Structure 1
């Protein structure tokens, strides 16, 4: 990778500075191949398959995908839902068994922004912090945190409690079912530590398609605008 030098201060930098590819020893062509594979395949790609395609180690493939998802997560955190936002309560971990959470189950909140034509405009799926739900319900603090972090202050908000509404009347639940099936189809044995980034990946795909934007170009813009991060930081962040 050639270095470019400032004619005034003589500082040298490469084209990948300030991107997720900065300081990476992986060939730039493999990075672009990874971005293309992630964005061009309907179901995405897992680290094992990517490592085989690129002929890199599993750890390298995992780190590349994790950095890509980190750029998606940062973009997702920066964009807030607006208009009329419906918050649905859903459950993951096993087939529906009742209105309580078992040890291997966890709740998620699904935010669906609806525009003036009553069409879905944007979606967010967020895992609920363990301290924000008990055995039977999601606590109000979880809703407050979701609204504060992910919803515009001027938005109208409707919370659809799972006990009180039929699933067919929940605005975001149909998309959640698609997301859950997508995740099971592509990724296997996911732990909860990194799981939120996979929900974010699905939402980014879904929202980008809603806006009729090209996935590859959109992903490339995210990745070149996201600063470098290390393997140790990514593992620690979850």
Structure 2
């Protein structure tokens, strides 16, 4: 059985998950790496009901029925598992972005279905980002997102805090980008209370005192942190041709997910599988950015 790391191209993915049965086998081992666990009573044995598109597992103790996609972002979806796994892999690619138009063409679904799939995937990424605060020494600044970079808030632009953790040896750590309500700015300055709110929500209590630069003019344009923001800006504009304020935060979280997984030299493909499948399951033991989180999960035979 091949390791997940062997999937380098779309052809590799389609070769490995060539049938729904192969996807079922893979997802079973991913969701229940140590064998079936009832989500209601934690019993370890189940009857298998195979009369539906996907098998149902009926707990032998409490008779509760569950499926592979129950409790995952795929729950309630009639889209095939092959197409879902393809979407996960495409989103995880760090070298390119994927929008709903392109995804709909690749996996042959409607634009509406592709958009909803991507929306659910990004929601899982955002949830994980919320639950993983920055550690160490944290630095940040306020800037503005629009189709064209700006140094001051204009109509249609969205202010945000860009922050990073810095290790003891001065190496850049993890990245976060969080939107700020425009009403909380005065002459380009973010209120101190909002800096403190960002720290409370997104910085670990064990971290050193947070330094949020409250005025975007004061950040060096050649600093690594500002360059990270510029990379995010280019990625969003090149892939999605500009993003409105309504969904901007989820795209910022997706960029940070890509950035942080590459920083830790972990597989974004494995981590995204963990977020979208296992993290929503009560039986999950996956941890974001843990290199060994699902490396033991077997792929389809």
Aligned residues: 226
Residues 94, 218 of structure 1: CA spacing in aligned structure 2 closer, same or farther, 3 A cutoff? closer
Matched, 1:178 2:231: yes
Alignment partner, residue 58 of structure 2: 5
Residues 132, 125 of structure 1: CA spacing in aligned structure 2 closer, same or farther, 3 A cutoff? same
Matched, 1:111 2:111: no
Instruction: State how 1:196-235 maps to structure 2 within 5 Å.
Output: 196-227=249-280
Match of 2:70 among 17, 21, 35: 17
Match of 1:72 among 115, 125, 129: 125
Residues 104, 151 of structure 1: CA spacing in aligned structure 2 closer, same or farther, 3 A cutoff? same
> Which region of structure 1 is more displaced relative to structure 2, 150-159 or 198-207?
150-159
SS at match of 1:87: strand
Give how far 1:93 is off: 1.5
Matched, 1:133 2:185: yes
SS at match of 1:172: helix
Distance in 2, Cα, partners of 1:96 & 1:188 = 14
Distance in 2, Cα, partners of 1:19 & 1:212 = 26
Residues 28, 165 of structure 1: CA spacing in aligned structure 2 closer, same or farther, 3 A cutoff? closer
Residues 13, 184 of structure 1: CA spacing in aligned structure 2 closer, same or farther, 3 A cutoff? same
Distance in 2, Cα, partners of 1:76 & 1:180 = 19
> Which region of structure 1 is more displaced relative to structure 2, 135-144 or 119-128?
135-144
> Which region of structure 1 is more displaced relative to structure 2, 49-58 or 68-77?
49-58
Distance in 2, Cα, partners of 1:72 & 1:104 = 25
Distance in 2, Cα, partners of 1:191 & 1:128 = 14
Alignment partner, residue 148 of structure 1: 200
Give how far 1:167 is off: 2.7
> Which region of structure 1 is more displaced relative to structure 2, 140-149 or 108-117?
140-149
- Provide, for residues 101-144 of structure 1, a one-character-per-residue CA deviation record: whole Å limited to 9, x for no partner: 11122211111100011101100011111331135322223212
Distance in 2, Cα, partners of 1:166 & 1:117 = 21
- Calculate the TM-score normalised by the size of structure 2: 0.71
SS at match of 1:107: strand
Alignment partner, residue 83 of structure 1: 136
Alignment partner, residue 116 of structure 2: 63
Structure scoring higher RCO (CA < 8 A, sep ≥ 6) equals 1
Query: Is the 8 Å Cα contact of residues 129 and 142 (structure 1) preserved in structure 2?
Result: no
Residues 62, 71 of structure 1: CA spacing in aligned structure 2 closer, same or farther, 3 A cutoff? same
**Which sections of structure 1, spanning at least 5 residues, go unmatched?**
229-238
Distance in 2, Cα, partners of 1:179 & 1:155 = 25
Residues 94, 26 of structure 1: CA spacing in aligned structure 2 closer, same or farther, 3 A cutoff? closer
Give how far 1:9 is off: 1.7
Residues 96, 70 of structure 1: CA spacing in aligned structure 2 closer, same or farther, 3 A cutoff? closer
Give how far 1:74 is off: 0.3
Alignment partner, residue 28 of structure 2: none
Give how far 1:94 is off: 4.9
Give how far 1:55 is off: 1.1
